[in-house]
Structure formats: structure tokens, C-alpha cells
């Protein structure tokens, strides 16, 4: 099985670097080196900063792609209307296993991110800055960067700044999760449709954007809109940070001009010459087939037209040696275990969808395939946050792109290829208390009589199959369901059910290194 991505993978650049300038000189740009490499930065007042963001078509780089200027103006308008100081938040909560580009920036170019955040704070008149992170490495780097600038959370200062740690989970990066964590609550989606620009941290209007977005703003403020636009496309200027993993020589974070051919990016990272398909936008994104990928370019609009998504910049090709449906099932099980447990579509629907896909691969036939389609359709648009929608988007894309493989599994007994685990997932037990427990449900089929009591106690993980016996989701038991799982074990009249530790993933054989060249 593939190992989890390292915190800070190798970094390479296509063309001239902007965000990664100086990475070839030092591993981490402290304040002194940052100023030598990038130079000083002058404040930009109010509306002029929004005009700059408009001029460079700066959209959020965390996945949703919301226009930064629109968000900036909404926060300013709300703050003026209410007569309160707004808050600026850097969202560095990168909880997706396939993403590391924000972690790279937080660890290696922390002052570029702070430049953009402080520009926004100055333009808005904010006096509070919060930086949300998920890892030891990013927390240490940002705390050091704040200390280098003499910023802290002590009262009496012009700007109070602090670092907030959030769990390394898929749902931790959702805007309301970040705000709840900063407010001292659980790092879980609120489930309420309240805009952060109206009510966010401590009830104040809040400008929340991801780490790369602020870094891009800082680069544009130094270059100006015209010079910034010399790189990239006319309607999507500048560069973009990508995390490329999957069937590649080794995981790589790249800075590339918008508009570079996706084929070139994959070749640079050692992907197969013709992958089966490429997952774009990460585990809430879309698959595109290998032929389509060979003609696509890296831009938000172009990837969407090709049926993919730029999202948070995760690109994951898979080669011909692995079963794509088996790879997708691993991700579907992980997504089901990442549920916040706060709404039915997430708590019940995602495990049911994952279990249904498992039935398809196990020979469940057309009935099982139709059941998966019905579950994913029922979940869409009904969740308390975007996790259910993103997860079923991934599943529906899997069913749409891998039609030949589906036919082989549904009608012909399988595709004959093993699941090699090339899509990265965290090691079991990586999460903090309150999420997956590191245990899974298992059954002794020699004892099971199909009474169905377990399915009634833990419907999120067990449902009755068409043969009258329980079907299990191959996923870790979330902590919020562990009590129900234990009751199901105790109440099984045949003593057939048990909880056992999730197996550690086997190490993947070493792969051929990338060819020499590029930036370190």
C-alpha cells in the first residue's frame, strides 16, 4: 500500500517561480531571507486591494474558487454596517491526504502568507488575525514566523495574531469548522447557512481564505496587476500550486503557470505515459480518462470543461496495473469514516454508498450498481456541510468514467487486476480523539445466522444484504459510533460479531526516482 504523503514533499517549478522564489536557496525563508528575496511590501488601502484582486482574477485556492475581491468587499460592507472590527483568518487546515501545497507554503514561505493576510487586515482595519493549521510542522513554522515579526495574542497590541490547531480531518478545513475551532468549539461544520462575512470569529465579520490565496495576493501586490498577468492565461493569470501523487515516481508539489499542459505536469512527476485516468481536484473532485487528460491544460475553466476540477490542486493519475474501482472503494471507505456524524446524508448515506460499491466489486451485479446510484443521488444536496456532496461527486464520477471496469465487475466477475493502493491515505490511527477509532467491525461467518440486530444498532456501518445476511462497510468505526458498535457486539445472539484493530497498510515497494533537474 502507498505510504501517506510526507508533510513537505519535493518542490519543483515550471517556468519562473513566484510563490516558490528562494526555495532553491534555503529550506525555509525566515523574515530576513524573505525580505532579501521578495523585498519590502507597502500597504494597499481599502478598495485598491479589492481592485487588485479583481484585476488578477484572484479566486480562492482552497477548492471552492470564490472570488477574493467579492469576499473582501462583503466583509468591509458588513463591518461598516455593524460598526465593528472584522477578523482575518488564514485557513491552513489541509486535512485531505492528497494535498500538501498549503503545507509547503506554510512551512517554507510563511512570511509570504503573512504578507497577504496583513495586507487584508490593514485594508479592512482588522485587529485580529488567526491562522488555522493541522500539523506539527505547520504550527511550528507559523508560530516562529509570528515571533519573527513580533506578533502575538497579547492585549494592547495594534494587531493580535495567533495560531489555532485543528484536527487533520477532511471536514476540518470547512469554513464553519475553522471558525468554530477559533471560537473554542469543536472543529466541525456548524450546519447553519451563515456567511462568515456577516458572522464569523467572535460574531464579527470574518475574511477567511486559504494559505495560497494570501500568498498569491502578496506576490501580486509586489508585481502589480500587469506584471502578474504576464504569467498564465488572460482570464486566469499567474501560477497555481499543485500536489501530484498517485501513480508517480514520488509525490511532488509543483508551481506551474496556469495553462500548462496537464500531460507535461504528469510527465515531469514520472506518471505512466498513458494513465487509465487522472483524479483532479482531490477526493472531492472528478476523474477524467487518460485520453482526455492528455489534451487538457491546468486551469479552473479548462479542467471543468474536460469534466474535471482544479479544486485544491490535487492531481492523482493511476496506471494500468491497478483496479480503478478498488482504488475508488478505498477512498470511499475513508470518506465515509470522515463523517462529522451530524446529519443523515453524511452519517448514513456515505457508509451505505461505500458498502454498495463494495457489493458491486464483490459480484453484486446490476442490482448492487443501481443501489449505489440511488444512494448517491439521495445524498446530494442534503448535507449539513459540503462533505457529503463532495464525496458523492467523487463516487458518481467513478461510476461515470470507469464504465468498462464496471461492466467487467458487474457482468464478468471482475477486471482481474489487484488494488495496489496507489492513492494516498493516512496511516490508521492518525486522527485525534473524536474521529475514527482505529477499530473496525468483523464477523465470523461460521456463526452468523442473519438475525440483523447489528444492522439496527449501527445502520451507518452495517445493512442487511439481499441474501438476508449483514453487509459491512470496510471502514474504521468513527468514535461517535464506537458505543453503538460495542453494543452490537455484546447483543449479537450468536457471538459472531467483534471489534478488531484496523490493519496497518503494507509499505509500498520503492519506485524509480524522478529524473534529475528542476528546483529543489
Phi, psi of 342 (to 5 degrees): -110, -10
Element (H, E) at 210: strand 206-210
Phi/psi class of residue 62: alpha, beta or left (left: φ > 0; alpha: ψ in -120 to 50)? Answer: alpha
Q: Is residue 181 predicted with pLDDT exceeding 50?
A: yes
Q: Which residue has the cell 479589492?
A: 50
The yes-or-no verdict on residue 318 having pLDDT over 80 is yes
Strand partners, 255: 13, 241
**CB neighbours (10 Å) of residue 27?**
10
Residue 211: the pLDDT is: 96
Q: At the topology level of CATH, where does 431-504 sit?
A: Alpha-Beta Plaits (3.30.70)
Fold for 239-318, please state it. Ubiquitin-like (UB roll) (3.10.20)
Written as nine digits, the cell of 375 is 444512494
CATH code for 323-419? 1.20.1440.230
What is the C-alpha separation between 110 and 385, in angstroms, rounded? 29
Q: Using pLDDT thresholds of 50, 70 and 90, give the confidence band for residue 453.
A: confident
Max Cα distance, the chain (Å)? 73
pLDDT band at 512 (very low <50, low <70, confident <90, very high): very low
The domains of the chain are located at 17-227, 239-318, 323-419, 431-504
Residue 225 CA to residue 213 CA, distance in Å, equals 15
Contacts of residue 459, Cβ cutoff 8 Å, sequence gap at least 6? 348
Q: Are 62 and 312 in contact (CB under 8 A)?
A: yes
Q: Locate cell 479548462: which residue?
A: 302
Please tell me the distance from the alpha carbon of residue 207 to that of residue 72, in angstroms, as a whole number. 7
Which among 495, 499, 493, 497 is positioned nearest to 451, based on CA atoms? 493
* Grid cell listed for 340: 462529522
Residue 274 has which C-alpha cell?
498513458
Per the listing, cell 494592547 goes with 156
Q: Which residues contact 457 (CB under 8 A, 6 or more apart)?
A: 484, 485, 487, 488, 491
Instruction: Give the whole-angstrom CA distance, residue 473 versus residue 308.
Output: 28
What integer pLDDT is reported at residue 201 of this predicted model?
Answer: 95
CB distance 176 to 75 below 8 Å: no
Contact 80, 233 (CB under 8 A): no
- pLDDT, one tens digit per residue, over 292-309 is 999 999 999 999 999 999
> Does residue 193 carry a pLDDT above 80?
no
Q: How does residue 501 score in pLDDT terms, banded at 50, 70 and 90?
A: confident
Report the mean per-residue pLDDT for the chain: 88
- Tell me the pLDDT band of 116, cut-offs 50, 70 and 90: very high
Phi, psi torsion values for 361, nearest 5 degrees: -70, -25
Three-class secondary structure assignment of 126-170: CCEEEEEECCHHHHHHHHHHHHHCCCECCCCCCCEEEEEECCCCH
Mean pLDDT for 74-99 is: 95
Same topology, domains 17-227 and 323-419? Answer is no
The fourth-level CATH superfamily of domain 17-227 is: NADH-ubiquinone oxidoreductase 51kDa subunit (3.40.50.11540)
Q: What confidence score (pLDDT) does residue 371 get? A: 86
Position 474 scores a pLDDT of 65
Least confident of 15-29, 474-488, 494-508: 494-508
Cα angle 230-233-236, degrees, rounded to a multiple of 5: 105
Report the length, in residues, of the chain. Answer: 520
C-alpha cell, 55: 484585476
Q: Residue 90 forms beta bridges with which residues?
A: 131, 209
Which cell numbers hold the place of 488?
A: 452490537
- The mean per-residue pLDDT over the stretch 130-153 comes to 95
Identify the CA nearest to 72 among candidates 121, 39, 31, 23: 121
What cell numbers appear for 179 in the block? Answer: 471558525
Kindly state the percentage of the chain with pLDDT values over 70: 92
Please give the grid coordinates belonging to residue 283: 477526493
Amino acid at each position: 500500500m502507498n505510504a501517506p504523503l510526507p508533510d513537505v514533499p519535493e518542490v519543483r517549478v515550471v517556468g519562473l517561480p513566484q510563490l516558490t522564489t528562494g526555495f532553491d536557496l534555503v529550506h525555509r525563508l525566515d523574515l530576513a531571507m524573505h525580505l532579501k528575496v521578495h523585498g519590502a511590501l507597502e500597504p494597499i488601502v481599502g478598495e485598491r486591494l479589492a481592485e487588485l484582486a479583481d484585476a488578477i482574477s484572484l479566486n480562492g485556492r482552497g477548492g471552492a474558487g470564490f472570488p477574493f475581491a467579492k469576499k473582501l468587499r462583503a466583509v468591509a460592507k458588513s463591518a461598516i454596517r455593524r460598526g465593528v472590527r472584522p477578523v482575518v483568518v488564514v485557513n491552513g487546515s489541509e486535512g485531505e491526504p492528497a494535498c500538501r501545497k498549503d503545507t509547503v507554503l506554510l512551512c517554507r514561505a510563511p512570511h509570504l502568507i503573512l504578507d497577504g493576510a496583513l495586507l487584508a487586515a490593514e485594508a479592512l482595519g482588522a485587529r485580529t488575525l488567526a491562522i488555522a493549521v493541522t500539523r506539527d510542522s505547520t504550527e511550528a513554522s507559523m508560530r516562529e514566523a509570528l515571533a519573527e515579526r513580533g506578533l502575538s495574542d497579547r492585549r494592547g497590541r495594534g494587531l493580535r495574531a495567533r495560531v489555532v490547531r485543528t484536527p487533520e480531518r477532511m471536514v476540518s478545513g470547512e469554513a464553519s469548522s475553522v471558525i468554530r475551532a477559533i471560537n473554542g468549539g469543536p472543529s466541525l461544520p456548524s450546519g447553519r447557512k451563515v456567511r462568515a462575512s456577516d458572522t464569523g470569529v467572535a460574531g464579527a465579520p470574518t475574511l477567511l481564505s486559504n494559505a495560497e490565496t494570501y500568498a498569491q495576493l502578496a506576490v501580486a501586490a509586489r508585481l502589480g496587476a500587469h506584471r502578474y498577468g504576464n504569467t498564465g492565461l488572460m482570464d486566469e493569470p499567474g501560477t497555481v500550486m499543485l500536489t501530484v501523487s498517485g501513480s508517480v515516481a514520488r509525490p511532488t508539489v509543483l508551481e506551474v503557470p496556469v495553462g500548462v499542459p496537464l500531460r507535461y505536469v504528469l510527465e515531469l512527476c514520472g506518471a505512466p505515459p498513458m494513465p487509465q485516468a487522472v483524479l483532479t481536484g482531490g477526493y472531492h473532485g472528478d476523474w477524467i480518462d487518460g485520453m482526455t487528460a492528455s489534451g487538457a491544460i491546468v486551469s479552473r475553466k479548462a479542467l471543468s470543461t474536460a469534466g474535471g476540477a482544479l479544486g485544491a490542486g490535487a492531481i492523482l493519475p493511476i496506471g494500468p496495473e491497478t483496479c480503478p474501482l478498488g482504488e475508488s472503494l478505498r477512498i470511499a471507505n475513508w470518506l465515509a469514516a470522515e463523517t462529522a456524524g451530524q446529519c443523515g446524508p453524511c452519517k448514513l448515506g456515505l457508509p451505505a454508498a461505500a458498502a454498495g460499491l463494495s457489493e458491486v466489486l464483490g459480484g453484486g451485479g446490476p442490482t448492487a450498481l443501481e443501489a449505489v446510484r440511488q444512494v448517491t443521488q439521495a445524498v446530494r444536496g442534503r448535507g449539513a456541510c459540503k462533505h457529503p456532496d463532495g464525496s458523492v461527486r467523487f463516487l458518481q464520477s467513478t461510476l461515470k468514467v470507469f464504465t468498462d471496469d464496471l461492466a467487467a465487475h458487474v457482468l464478468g466477475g471482475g477486471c482481474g487486476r489487484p488494488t495496489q493502493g496507489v492513492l494516498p491515505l493516512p496511516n490508521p490511527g492518525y486522527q485525534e480523539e473524536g474521529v475514527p477509532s482505529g477499530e473496525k467491525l468483523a464477523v465470523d461467518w461460521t456463526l452468523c445466522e442473519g438475525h440483523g440486530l447489528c444492522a439496527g444498532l449501527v445502520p451507518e456501518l452495517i445493512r442487511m444484504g439481499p441474501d438476508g445476511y449483514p453487509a459491512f462497510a470496510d471502514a474504521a468505526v468513527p468514535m461517535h459510533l464506537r458505543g453503538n458498535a460495542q453494543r452490537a457486539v455484546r447483543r449479537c445472539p450468536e457471538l459472531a460479531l467483534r471489534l478488531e484493530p484496523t490493519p496497518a497498510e503494507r509499505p509500498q515497494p520503492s519506485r524509480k526516482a524522478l529524473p534529475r533537474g528542476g528546483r529543489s
